[in-house]
Structure 1
Amino acid sequence: GLLDARFEVREGEGVITLRGERPLAEGTRLLLGRVTPCVGRELELGMLRALVLESVEESTAQAALVTAPPGVGKSRLAQEFLQEIRGQGAGVSVWAVRGDALRAGSPLGMLGQALRSACGIHEGEPVEVRRRKLSAEIEARVPPGHRRRVEEFLGEIVGAAFPDEDSLPLRAARRDAQRMADQVRAAFLDYLAAIVAGGPLIVVLEDLHWGDRPTVSLLDAALRDLSDRPLFVLALARPEVRELFPRLWEGRRLHELRLNELSRRAGERLARHVLGERADADAIARIVRLSEGNAFYLEELIRWTAEGRGPDVPGTVVAMVESRLGALDDEARRLLRAASVFGDVCWAGGVAALVGGEARRSHVTAGLDALVALEILVRRRESRFPAEEELSFRHALLREGAYAMLTEGDRVLGHRLAGEWLERAGEPDPVVLAEHLQRGRALDQAACHYLRAGRQSCDRGDFASALARAQRGVDCGVHGETLGNLMALRAMAHCWRSEFDAAQQASAAALPLTGRGSRWACIALFHRAWASLVLDAEDDFMETADRFVQFQPDAEAGREYMLWAPLAASLLQTYGRRELCKALLDRADALAAALPALDLDLRGALAIGRSDYVRAFERDPWRQLQLTRQAVEAFQAIEDLRNQITALNRLGQAEAELGDPEAGEATLRRAVALAQRIAIPFAQRQSALHLAALLSRGSDPSKWGEASDMARSLLGAAGVSVGYRGWAHGICAEVLLQRGSYEDAVRQAREADALCARIPLRRLWVTALLVRGLIQLGDRDEAARVASRIEPGLACLGGGGYVEIDARVALAEAYWTGGRQDEARAALDEAIRGIAARVEAIPDAAWRARYTACVPEIARARRLASAWA
């Protein structure tokens, strides 16, 4: 309304309350004491207005990226845009945050800033106060059934951590940072959904080139999941943002604007507004020409002219900044140099710590006030640390100019003192602390903070940033255990990026240095084993896997080991390493048995590891079903979405293999839906392949096409592992066999066979498909040749496992068609004995009947037994 742009207005119960005049927009830049108009940006503002209007009226999530070099006017455009949006009145939520050079890349740094602002939370406030503010915000926004979960996990971002004694999900997430990242993601998206359900949300990210990947990723998820909601994200950045985030919001409704230099006419309007109508036209034309459209340089030229400093103006932006700062007195320059150490933002207490301590606090405050009056610093409405006044440089170029005046010795001392002050003030971001301490040559401390920052990045799935943090830590020149820990971090990040050569090298460097029995030694061992396995480095793998089985974790590493062990066991079973797999699971079970109580996350992880072993090597599908049920129940109880997907995939597989494909399909469709919700590519691929494999084996032709489509979609995707590609080709072969397209089926099976050459269990399944296809084509000799590897393959695996019946039936069919009836009957008899052993292990009569009647390979075995009798 008429009042909203100038006054704080609150509406409620039909009453409008005038609460006072609004302050100038934060960061409003005065020029010679005057608020200046925004000139020359009518086109860009008009485009942003139109995009916001479309987002609101059409209820669509959209984003805009504005890029320009420093000084052209991005901040002023953002300021004008925000003033317009806030002037629209009630009903629109606005988040506006700014990146900081010294916090660049800090996980969720920008998003945490936005959420704290939305809740009115300040750094340094007692945690009880923060919790109250967060709870009030969540209660006002989020439906009752989700409030506790959302506030608990958003509390982890905003520094308002809640107790976890009565919260299984929170307690479990704090023990597994990847699980925490998933929960934070879900909570953030639920919170955002609640906001946009009540009205539009505008998010403004200034200086995104100093932003972080997790913030960009979560906003990408919001733009995707809330695509039909009134959400608008405006990012402003220097052009190099495209190098930092090359796929920024790719596939979303993203509009890009390049902010051009100010036009001559716009520059003249600004100069005339500030200098007055009587100003000399030639002088105005000259400074506009010299500015070359750089808005910041033009403002400084206007200031120069107004102060009557003569015709010999500095010829560049940098020279102008140097001249401006050089005109200050010694004490003002000293304060600016100290302020510049902190980055674009500083605090009075921090500046005092660098120039003499608390004894000079009042003197420092007066000096900073003078710099605000001189329009070099800007006082900010809110402070990261509530007990400290926060200020920012009027422009990044002024900060860079002040920083350039520091001697090397002063820079080193200043950064060390700044890092120590920030740590005392409660700075939670390890990246900020590490940057200051490294520049301050407190290298051992810096490396430890880089290690912590790298682990945070790794746990949030930002492996590129994790590698960058690890490298920064190594660059500190540390030795011994700290270096070993950093190399273990590297190994972990490289593995999850499928860079196994680099992972093997990093883990080899880490292992001699990490502490005996430490969590980082555990991490290095696991990832060395994984890399060696994938690279087919047999000797390295056997030595490392044996060390992992024998590993004696210290008190801190015990949980880490028990969580990695089931994943290691799953890797071992995939590659057919039965003895090592069993030894590892027995070792993890022994450690778990020594605990007074087993937490649900460990219970679920161990159940999955053991179920994988039973499925791969034993004749007990009933136990497989019970273990997967235990895993699902455990992960559901702690609301662990990622591991729920893994457990549901195993459960759906177990239900189908025990004779209930309808229940298995329903379970796997739940897994697929959950994977789509959390939008993690690996989880999506895993769930899709499990469902496709089930549908391809079914008797419903209408679902074969769905199975084939899912498999082919995965084959067309980038970054899919060799094992998954082989599985997808096998699914395609299964569908083609069902349809009677035998030549195409054999071709797909051969593709799968080549890709699964080093994955014994899957290769036996593919071998059975290939044999069946060759028999249908009448190629008896080739079918017999391929089938000849089935018996040795089963023997190497101990003779059991999920693939045994299918493989033995295929072997029997190959013998029979080749005229080797006695061998065919012997192979079939072995398959029948395998079926009987599995039936005997099922205590439930209904499940026994279902198993013998509804499993395709069992039905095929019985048909052959009847025919050959």
Structure 2
Amino acid sequence: MLGGVETRSVSPVFVGRADELAVLTDALTRAAGREPQAMLIGGEAGVGKTRLTEEFLCEADRRGAVVAVGGCVEIGAEGLPFAPFSTALRTLHRLLPQELAAAAAGQEDELARILPELGDTPRGPHDEESTARLFELTARMLERLAADRTVVLVLEDLHWADTSTRHLLSYLFRTLGSGRLVIVATYRADDVHRRHPLRPLLAELDRLRTVRRIELSRFNRAEVRRQLAGILAAQPDEDFVDSVFDRSDGNAFFVEELVASKESGCRTGLTESLRDLLLVRVEVLPDETQRLVRIVAEGGSTVEYPLLRAVAGLTEDELIEALRAAVGANILLATPDGDGYRFRHSLVREAVSDDLLPGERARVNRRYAEAMEADGSLVRAEERVIRLASYWYHANDPAEALPAVLAASVAARRRHAYSEQLRLLERAMDLWDSAPEDVREALRPADYTDVYPPCGCDPATTALQRLDLLAEATVAARYGGERDRALKITKTALRLLEDDRDPLRAAWFWTERSRLVAGLGRGDGWEEIAKAQDLVRGLPPSQVHAEVLVRAASWGMLHQPGPDNLAAAERAVEYARMVGAEETELNARITVGALRADSGDGEGGLAEMHAVVERTTQLGLTMLAGRAHINLTSQLESLGRSREAVELAEQGAELVRKSRLLDSEAWVCGNMAESLYSLGRWDEAAEAARRTLLVGQSAAPRGCASARLAYLALARGELAEATHQLAAAHTHYGTHETQPQHRIPLRRLTIGVAAAEGRIADVRAETSAAAAYGFPLGQHRYAWPLLLAAATAEADARGLPAAEAGRDTALAVLRTAARSVATPVPVWTAHAEYVRAELLRAEARDTLADWTAVEKAVRPLERPYLLARVCHRLAEALLAAGDREPAAVLLREAYATAERIGSRLLREDLALLARRARLPLTEADGAAVPDAPRTDPVEALGLTSRERDVLRLVAAGSTNRKIAEELFISPKTASVHVSNILAKLGVTGRGEAAALAHRLRLFAAPSPVSPRPEAARPGV
């Protein structure tokens, strides 16, 4: 239309910014090497962000990159979900139609939420992982699209970004790992005040090493002179340079405006007020053009030409003339695609909009709304409903605005833009009381909500209530990650329900509140569940009643395991069947299956969950199918069927990965890591745990992954890593974690770390606390490893001076606790035998028969690490009895296992025992044994004779002062010796050094298993 009109207020010379442009072009070079680049460009309004970006895009174009630009739309509180991404992807779709189609293949329906050109947006069920799934699909699509070509994505005006856009940008910056992709985002720094929603995102991105941030400063005087010379095509007068520099303060846009103001012949001269400066060139335009500019200012960031023609009320010739004047004055610009117009700078649009009278603004917005309702083709379909809601709202017409805003909330929900949906619902609640009663009564829940707190009414015929909006807003806030806001909404709803006898609605809100309280770590959620149960008690069966029962049973299964939970879950199944709520029924059946398995009916419980997997897969309920896989794999591991658990976990991970259910994938991978650990496939277990940390969105699966990595590190002898991962697990779980399935493993790890560091008092304190806490029904899988760790620590500490006091009490606590723990399947029976033998060893009462019984129980199990440890103890007992040949066979078997799975700690213990007994661990060792020199075990650790004496005293519990007195040295010298010993042993403290010396029997009396007690341990 008018895109070719020339302007003279912009300098054709690119001034300054050479360093910044170099950083951007370097990003292009890096991206060409398949290293995705993320750039942020910030600066105050008018400082030159757009010009720098344009120069960069010219360079990208010269290098053959595919360029797509999208801008955030300032359209009011409700925003336009994913606006910059939709615009940029639409450009890519136009430039690379076949390539983009291939990159999106198989996921077109989900990706249509961001790029509607890919197809219709599905109306399937929503869940808390919907947004994360969409983000993951978008990231993978961009990676595939940029696999063979450099793609530059520019997102402008991030300070106007909707919440969904900010979250997607953050996700991309954190997860993009491959592809020739450059993402550049610009924002107005002076608008990002302390409470601006962009501020937390910028702080988060600053911590990412992969994100580079450019902050543009104002021009200095020399740069302003160069800019003026470019604009004027001549060297400016120095007085004029001084005047412009002083008034603009180096802001590039203000320089242009001051020059244009002077050249426009404004007789009032240069104004002091910034607002007046921005309006001065508008005010010298013809009246008709000024009116048109005011109309454009209220239309949004960009106004389509057909829409503008419908609203302006001018003939086409008059409209063209008015536009020509506005474009010629450099006030408006034609959009790159030629479809509409926008202000050359957003500051001018803001100034024009602010200058409108209140009644004038409402009238213009009404005309926009009426034009769009008369002709729906004036704007893109995906934008129409959102913009219509904004226009009616600013037209101050509640009767029209309320249904428009509600319709926009539905559109936002379908795009998984839950934060925007929440803002729209809040706006609808603000409009509620102002809207005429007949308008409210014409609204139906079925048209505007996905959440129907059942109240005995048909949502398709009953009028929409304020409580329906609160229910929808609660779920939108939860799905959007705004749990605090959701909690406040439930409080408002429950206050309204105090005078309204609607127990089903109240029960629904209490159930939601239970989820939120638990999710925020402000309690375990039981108080809220109990209130919901009281409300539905005695009422006829309903979906709400069934859901309350499921929630109560699931809570009990995780927090207070017991037989009552199974009865509640079975009743939930019955109620759900009565009302035809199959999804609720299937969810309840998963809980039933898990509870049956915990109660001893392992096969029955597994069969129930397998049936749910089959049915949910058939119905396409992937979220429930994922939950069934999570519980199935967990129960298989509890029954000792680790190989089956891994096979099923692989299937489940593939299922949920296809649907991008990230938290579900995290849980399945976490369970897989546990079973792989049991099977001795430790490298695979670590990989599965790291995958859990990568994809997990919630704290609990990430906590489980860190705990699993701590188990691995502890078994391998990597104490520092075990301590780090244990601390990470505690951080993920938070301070309000009460689930036994999480608390007991953390206690077991704490015991393991304390034992490795020689802190036997801490081992006993943690064991006593665990025993006092108890081991509820179904928790035997976590209880036996804890008891075994504590019993082993007591046995290893026998002989340490610090361990003697309190030993009898500690062993009594362990024996009492062991009697209370079930042994429903062979793997836990074997653990019980192992614990019994270790308790006897702690009292020096263990016999060859005891360890033979343990080996017999463990041998049939597919638990290589457990078997190798038992073989170590049995070999020790055989050597004490003089049976060298069978001991040698067991040592070689255990050593091969330790090498294969990567347990350095166990490997060194076995090597030490073999050397002391003069037994070969391999054929090569066997050839060298007869002539093997006798090696001092302390010297083998690299310690000097003086350090040997100091270590002996450290192992006896002596302080530095006591060591100094004993060896006739100064305390400072003793401290230096201790530090050197800790470094050579690779330990972090005196207690750990003492425990190591004791475990290796460096200073013990000669062992009956070998005539050569001084035989060396090869090292740590």
TM-score (norm 1): 0.71
In structure 2, the residue matched to 1:150 is 107
Give CA-to-partner distance per residue, 1:780-833, whole Å, 9 cap, x none: 667777998999x99xxxxx999999799989999x999xxxxxxxxxxxxxxx
Structure 1 residue 525 displacement after superposition: 4.5
Do structure 1's residue 375 and structure 2's residue 330 form an aligned pair?
yes
Structure 1 residue 115 displacement after superposition: 1.8
In structure 1, the residue matched to 2:252 is 295
Within 5 A, what are the aligned runs for 1:730-745?
730-734=744-748
Return the match for 1:214 from 158, 164, 170: 164
Structure 1 residue 544 displacement after superposition: 0.8
Structure 1 residue 593 displacement after superposition: 7.2
Conservation of the 8 A alpha-carbon contact between 2:526 and 2:555: no
Within 5 A, what are the aligned runs for 1:76-115?
76-89=51-64, 92-102=65-75, 105-115=79-89
Do structure 1's residue 119 and structure 2's residue 93 form an aligned pair?
yes
* Cα separation, partners in 2 of 1:552 and 1:35, compared to 1, 3 Å: farther
Whole-angstrom CA distance in 2 between matches of 1:548 and 1:802: 37
Conservation of the 8 A alpha-carbon contact between 2:335 and 2:341: yes
Within 5 A, what are the aligned runs for 1:844-859?
none
Do structure 1's residue 508 and structure 2's residue 508 form an aligned pair?
no
Whole-angstrom CA distance in 2 between matches of 1:673 and 1:716: 29
Structure 1 residue 579 displacement after superposition: 5.0
In structure 2, the residue matched to 1:191 is 141
Whole-angstrom CA distance in 1 between matches of 2:5 and 2:771: 67
In structure 1, the residue matched to 2:181 is 231
Whole-angstrom CA distance in 2 between matches of 1:336 and 1:257: 33
Return the match for 1:530 from 511, 515, 526: 515
Structure 1 residue 626 displacement after superposition: 3.2
Question: Gaps (5+ residues) in structure 1?
Answer: 1-22, 122-132, 164-169, 384-388, 795-799, 819-848, 860-869
Give CA-to-partner distance per residue, 1:25-56, whole Å, 9 cap, x none: x8x99533877332222221122111221221
* Cα separation, partners in 2 of 1:753 and 1:547, compared to 1, 3 Å: farther
Whole-angstrom CA distance in 2 between matches of 1:190 and 1:60: 15
Matched to 1:71, the amino acid is G
- Secondary structure, aligned partner of 2:14: coil
- Secondary structure, aligned partner of 1:118: helix
- Secondary structure, aligned partner of 2:593: helix
In structure 2, the residue matched to 1:484 is 467
In structure 1, the residue matched to 2:153 is 203
Whole-angstrom CA distance in 1 between matches of 2:525 and 2:127: 30
Within 5 A, what are the aligned runs for 1:311-330?
312-330=269-287
Deviates more, 1:659-668 or 1:190-199: 659-668
Structure 1 residue 610 displacement after superposition: 3.6
Conservation of the 8 A alpha-carbon contact between 2:511 and 2:528: no
- Secondary structure, aligned partner of 1:267: helix
Do structure 1's residue 611 and structure 2's residue 598 form an aligned pair?
no
Return the match for 1:50 from 26, 51, 74: 26
Within 5 A, what are the aligned runs for 1:418-817?
418-419=368-369, 421-422=371-372, 424=376, 425=379, 426-428=381-383, 432-443=387-398, 446=401, 468=423, 471-476=426-431, 478=433, 482-489=465-472, 491-492=474-475, 493=477, 499=484, 502=488, 505-509=491-495, 511=497, 524-530=509-515, 535=523, 540-545=528-533, 547=535, 569-576=553-560, 579=564, 582-583=567-568, 586-587=571-572, 591=576, 605=587, 607-616=589-598, 618-632=599-613, 645-668=626-649, 682-683=663-664, 686-687=667-668, 689-691=670-672, 693-694=674-675, 707-708=711-712, 712=726, 714-715=728-729, 717-718=731-732, 720=734, 722-723=736-737, 727-734=741-748, 777=794
Structure 1 residue 223 displacement after superposition: 4.2
Deviates more, 1:476-485 or 1:105-114: 476-485
Matched to 2:59, the amino acid is E
Structure 1 residue 320 displacement after superposition: 0.9
Matched to 1:544, the amino acid is A
Conservation of the 8 A alpha-carbon contact between 2:70 and 2:154: yes
Structure 1 residue 660 displacement after superposition: 1.9
Do structure 1's residue 341 and structure 2's residue 322 form an aligned pair?
no
* Cα separation, partners in 2 of 1:485 and 1:138, compared to 1, 3 Å: same
Deviates more, 1:672-681 or 1:438-447: 672-681
* Cα separation, partners in 2 of 1:199 and 1:608, compared to 1, 3 Å: farther
Whole-angstrom CA distance in 2 between matches of 1:212 and 1:803: 54
* Cα separation, partners in 2 of 1:375 and 1:770, compared to 1, 3 Å: same
- Secondary structure, aligned partner of 2:205: coil
Deviates more, 1:276-285 or 1:205-214: 276-285
Whole-angstrom CA distance in 2 between matches of 1:517 and 1:74: 57
Structure 1 residue 180 displacement after superposition: 4.7
Structure 1 residue 298 displacement after superposition: 0.8
* Cα separation, partners in 2 of 1:750 and 1:338, compared to 1, 3 Å: farther
Whole-angstrom CA distance in 2 between matches of 1:806 and 1:379: 75
* Cα separation, partners in 2 of 1:347 and 1:705, compared to 1, 3 Å: closer
Whole-angstrom CA distance in 2 between matches of 1:67 and 1:668: 46
Matched to 1:335, the amino acid is L
Give CA-to-partner distance per residue, 1:542-576, whole Å, 9 cap, x none: 2313546888899xxx7x99899856653343244
* Cα separation, partners in 2 of 1:110 and 1:656, compared to 1, 3 Å: same
Question: Gaps (5+ residues) in structure 2?
Answer: 193-197, 435-439, 441-463, 686-707, 714-721, 795-805, 841-856, 868-1020
Conservation of the 8 A alpha-carbon contact between 2:784 and 2:832: yes
Deviates more, 1:416-425 or 1:677-686: 677-686
Identity %: 19
Do structure 1's residue 395 and structure 2's residue 345 form an aligned pair?
yes
Whole-angstrom CA distance in 1 between matches of 2:12 and 2:771: 71
* Cα separation, partners in 2 of 1:462 and 1:75, compared to 1, 3 Å: same
* Cα separation, partners in 2 of 1:787 and 1:527, compared to 1, 3 Å: farther
Do structure 1's residue 37 and structure 2's residue 10 form an aligned pair?
no
Matched to 2:89, the amino acid is L
Whole-angstrom CA distance in 1 between matches of 2:159 and 2:656: 30
* Cα separation, partners in 2 of 1:652 and 1:233, compared to 1, 3 Å: same
Using CA pairs under 8 Å that are at least 6 residues apart, name the structure with larger relative contact order, 1 or 2: 1
Give CA-to-partner distance per residue, 1:578-597, whole Å, 9 cap, x none: 657754664456545776x9
- Secondary structure, aligned partner of 1:234: strand
TM-score (norm 2): 0.62
* Cα separation, partners in 2 of 1:35 and 1:258, compared to 1, 3 Å: closer
Whole-angstrom CA distance in 2 between matches of 1:676 and 1:713: 29
* Cα separation, partners in 2 of 1:162 and 1:497, compared to 1, 3 Å: closer
Give CA-to-partner distance per residue, 1:99-127, whole Å, 9 cap, x none: 11116754323222222222239xxxxxx
Conservation of the 8 A alpha-carbon contact between 2:558 and 2:740: no
- Secondary structure, aligned partner of 1:175: coil
* Cα separation, partners in 2 of 1:230 and 1:543, compared to 1, 3 Å: same
Whole-angstrom CA distance in 1 between matches of 2:660 and 2:125: 22
Conservation of the 8 A alpha-carbon contact between 2:281 and 2:329: no
